[in-house]
Amino acid sequence: MQIQENISLRPYNTFGIDAKARWFAAFTNTDELEQLLEQGTRHKVQGTRMILGGGSNILFTKDYDGLVLKNGITGIDELHEDNEYVYVKAGAGENWHQFVLYCLDHNWSGLENLSLIPGNVGAAPMQNIGAYGVELQETFYSLEAFSLQERKMFSFSRNDCEFGYRNSIFKGRYKDQFVITSVTFRLKKTPVFHTSYGAVNEELERMGVKELSIRAISKAVINIRSSKLPDPKEIGNAGSFFKNPSVSKETYDELKKQFPGIIGYNNPDGTMKLAAAWMIEQCGPQESVTWKGYRKGDAGCHAKQALVLVNYSNASGQDIYGLSEQILKTVSDTFGIILEREVNII
């Protein structure tokens, strides 16, 4: 639990960007975190500080001139249960997918559609992770977080977190103010299956599943994800780089007249969510008709999923960011839609 100087962050971010942290330390409990913050102040550790989980939703565009604190708080506790639910608390440093597998082993339902999302439990509420028709907020019960300003613990209910599409209060008003130390989930003892989204049903059929189970759904999700998303161990990436933008029904109808192939989904509030990947596929740099599969140097747009920007080997954060700027511009020029980045830019 020492503060180290000038540490390469390459092993700590799934983009594999070789940025340096001016200061770096890891903690495994809140006492250690407090001590590190204290030590940092005493040793005049300059600049800002940031919390790092698995580094799978981050793009370092430069060296970090501050203190990077790697969250390593582990532990899974079954708090209590009632007729319907079990309440399970997981340390923020637990690996997300391992936690999902733990829940499957115990037959607790709710997280199976979120299988194989990289990163740690603590970052999951940050952007209300979601996949295959399910969002974290549906099973979220509460979290505990340490206030960097007030230096004490706070508890947040689901309402307090102000969850939205890939969003929460921790990405907005409370950005960089809290260290999430644990998350408590409310999981179903009798499973409710979500199979209508995307290719889940098709994959279950292909697998020959006769009797639906949370394990089968998890396996189907793992199969789909493995077939179309690049494994960060092989090609650096942070999953979807952009969010799917929402527009009014009127705007959608106008776009649909001009671009009959445009893909939109109904939001509960009557607006339409557009598939950003489709729009990115329709645009490209001067030398190509599409961004999909484009590569310049070591920075590129993945060949199977246009939403995913990749680092083939030695791209810098600036290379990836520059590519994202170009994509934003062409999508805006073509469709009049400004895409928002999902990845946290540092």
Ligand X SMILES: Cc1cc2nc3c(=O)[nH]c(=O)nc-3n(C[C@H](O)[C@H](O)[C@H](O)COP(=O)(O)OP(=O)(O)OC[C@H]3O[C@@H](n4cnc5c(N)ncnc54)[C@H](O)[C@@H]3O)c2cc1C
Residues assigned a catalytic role = 166, 240, 342
CB 111 within 8 A of CB 122: no
Query: Distances in Å between the alpha carbon of 228 and those of 282, 290, 303, 305?
Result: 19, 18, 9, 7
Query: Distances in Å between the alpha carbon of 57 and those of 148, 178, 264?
Result: 21, 17, 25
Which residues from 204-233 bind ligand X, rule CB under 6 A?
229, 232
Q: Considering the rule CB under 6 A, would residue 327 count as an interface residue with ligand X?
A: no
Q: How far apart are CA 55 and CA 119, in angstroms?
A: 7
Contact residues for 189 (Cβ-Cβ < 8 A; gap 6+): 81, 83, 84, 85, 86, 107, 108, 109
Quick one: which of 17, 86, 180, 224 contacts ligand X (CB under 6 A)? Answer: 180
> CB 20 → ligand X: shortest distance, Å?
17
Place of tokens 């009014």: 248
Candidates 40-48, 99-107, 116-124, 320-328: pick the segment binding ligand X (CB under 6 A): 116-124
- In the shown chain, the binding pattern of residues 57 to 96 toward ligand X, with x for contact by CB under 6 A and - for none, equals xx------------x--------------------x----
> CB 180 → ligand X: shortest distance, Å?
4
Q: Which is nearer to ligand X, 186 or 243 (CB)?
A: 243
Q: How far apart are CA 127 and CA 240, in angstroms?
A: 12
Q: Which is nearer to ligand X, 107 or 184 (CB)?
A: 184
Q: Note the residue count of the chain.
A: 346
Candidates 1-9, 23-31, 115-123, 298-306: pick the segment binding ligand X (CB under 6 A): 115-123
Q: Which is nearer to ligand X, 33 or 331 (CB)?
A: 33
Contact residues for 269 (Cβ-Cβ < 8 A; gap 6+): none
Binding site for ligand X (CB under 6 A): 14, 50-58, 71, 92, 117-120, 122-124, 126-127, 129-131, 178-180, 229, 232, 237-239, 344
